[in-house]
Amino acid sequence: AQTVTQSQPEMSVQEAETVTLSCTYDTSESDYYLFWYKQPPSRQMILVIRQEAYKQQNATENRFSVNFQKAAKSFSLKISDSQLGDAAMYFCAYIPVWGGSQGNLIFGKGTKLSVKP
Amino acid sequence: ETGVTQSPTHLIKTRGQQVTLRCSSQSGHNTVSWYQQALGQGPQFIFQYYREEENGRGNFPPRFSGLQFPNYSSELNVNALELDDSALYLCASSLGTGSSYNEQFFGPGTRLTVL
């Protein structure tokens, strides 16, 4: 079975500092996507960053970057220069590229990030 | 461009009742996926509709059913509500091909409370 595990229920970071959120996953597929989603108190799930498994280069989006280790099945999110607006629940998610239920994003349980001024 | 919208925002029902939740997909999108997010958990996939047909289903009982209309909006129906159905229900729309992943855009969700 495909699973996504986030081992940090809560994290805290000082404003302007850097924080890393961890995620591991389990799959027998070779082609898949990995995502980090942000869910603020407004509840709307927002895509932060996406990684295609066939790409060795780690994805970056402004202050957000990932460390993708395919062999270790690890996918961490680094947030640099943290801002108060980064406070939210962060979910790691996985989906195979082909086959199965195409809508079937598999989410971890989430990490609640607090940002201290 | 209009994003994904859901109605109602909040809903309170009693055990045994039936509920219908609605989702309007983003303009140009033909695929809607529904997820259930229990408190303190990540979303879990319920089912997906692609061009008015069910295109995949998660591990949810048959009392969870859905529809997609010609304008690609969608409904989620839950019969015989149970206390454990209390959750945030998210829908996500995408421009799908029915056979591979395309980015999903989420709505703000409907918070269902079952008493």
The arithmetic mean of pLDDT across residues A87-115, rounded, is 87
DSSP state of B100: B
Query: In the predicted model, is pLDDT for residue A101 greater than 70?
Result: no
**So what's the pLDDT on residue B100?**
66
CB A23 within 8 A of CB A37: no
pLDDT digits (tens, 9 = 90+) for B16-31: 999 999 999 998 899 9
Residue of B nearest to A4 (CA): B42
Indicate yes or no: CB of B104 within 8 angstroms of CB of A103: yes
Query: In the predicted model, is pLDDT for residue A100 greater than 60?
Result: no
Query: A117: burial class by Cβ within 10 Å (0-12, 13-18, 19+)?
Result: exposed
pLDDT digits (tens, 9 = 90+) for A60-69: 999 999 999 9
More confident call, B29 vs A76? A76
pLDDT digits (tens, 9 = 90+) for A31-62: 899 999 999 988 889 999 999 998 889 999 99
Indicate yes or no: CB of B108 within 8 angstroms of CB of A104: no
Indicate yes or no: CB of B101 within 8 angstroms of CB of A50: no
Query: In the predicted model, is pLDDT for residue A102 greater than 60?
Result: no
The arithmetic mean of pLDDT across residues B2-20, rounded, is 95
- Nearest one of B20, B23, B29 to B90, comparing CA atoms: B23
- Chain B CB contacts of A95 under 8 Å are 101
